[in-house]
Amino acid sequence: MVNDNGKVIFSISNTGCSYFSRVIEQKLKNMSGIADISVSYLTNIVLVSYDLEKTNVGVIRRSIKKFGYDTVELH
């Protein structure tokens, strides 16, 4: 079976320091289906590569919201 990877870019609000990038990276890396994640607290941007068969943008977005951060999907 071939795994199809998706990518999504989020702008995140409510950030204030580099702590948020560590929280997001650590928590999302442990989620099923997350292939790679890159977080920049300087630009408030999160880039996520994920397996479309195991997760989706809505699940990722809700997970980030649980950590206390609001997201806007960028295209």
Residue 31 belongs to domain with CATH number = 3.30.70.100
pLDDT digits (tens, 9 = 90+) for 37-54: 998 888 889 999 999 999
3 pLDDT higher than 70: no
Structural domain including 45 reads 5-74
- Strands 70-74 and 45-51, by their bridges, are unpaired
pTM comes to 0.84
Number of domains present in the structure of the chain? 1
Q: Which residues are CB-neighbours of 19 under 8 A, at least 6 positions away? A: none
CA distances from 39 to 3, 26, 53, 73, 74 (A): 23, 11, 23, 14, 14
